[in-house]
Amino acid sequence: MINGQVVAITGASSGIGRATALYLARAGAKTVLGARHEEGLSRLTEEIKTAAGQAVYRVTDVSRREDVQGLVTLAQKSFGRLDVLFSNAGAMPIGPFDDLAVDDWETMVDVNIKGVLYGIAAALPVFRQQGSGHFIHTASTAARKTVPNQVVYSATKAAVLAISDGLRQELAGNIRVSTILPGFTDTAFSEHVKSPRLKEEFQKAGQKFAMSPEAVARAVAYVLEQPEDVNIGEVTLRSKAQP
Contact 37, 31 (CB under 8 A): no
Instruction: Name which of 189, 105, 193 is nearest 140 in CA terms.
Output: 189
**What radius of gyration, in Å, describes the C-alpha atoms of the chain?**
17
pLDDT digits (tens, 9 = 90+) for 171-203: 999 899 999 999 999 876 556 677 777 777 767
Does the reported pTM lie above 0.75?
A: yes
Instruction: Name which of 151, 147, 13, 32 is nearest 89 in CA terms.
Output: 13
Q: What is the DSSP letter of 141?
A: G
pLDDT digits (tens, 9 = 90+) for 49-76: 999 999 999 999 999 999 999 999 999 9
pLDDT value at 205 more than 80: no
Mean pLDDT for the chain overall: 94
Collapse the DSSP code of 110 into the 3-class scheme (helix H, G, I; strand E, B; otherwise coil) and give the result.
helix
Q: Using alpha carbons, list the distances in angstroms from residue 90 to 31, 186, 215.
A: 19, 14, 18
Contact 220, 120 (CB under 8 A): no
As a whole number, mean pLDDT of residues 88-95 equals 94
- CA 47 – CA 214 distance, rounded (Å): 16
Contact 140, 157 (CB under 8 A): yes
pLDDT of residue 180: 98
pLDDT value at 224 more than 90: yes
pLDDT of residue 187: 77
pLDDT of residue 134: 98
Task: Report percent pLDDT > 90 for the chain.
Answer: 87
As a whole number, mean pLDDT of residues 100-122 equals 97
Helix residue spans in 81-212 (DSSP H): 102-108, 115-130, 151-171, 196-209
| Domain 6-235 belongs in CATH node 3.30.450.40 | no
pLDDT digits (tens, 9 = 90+) for 73-85: 999 999 999 999 9
Q: What is the pLDDT confidence band of residue 206, given thresholds at 50, 70 and 90?
A: low
Q: What is the DSSP letter of 212?
A: P
Residues belonging to the active site: 153
pLDDT of residue 203: 72
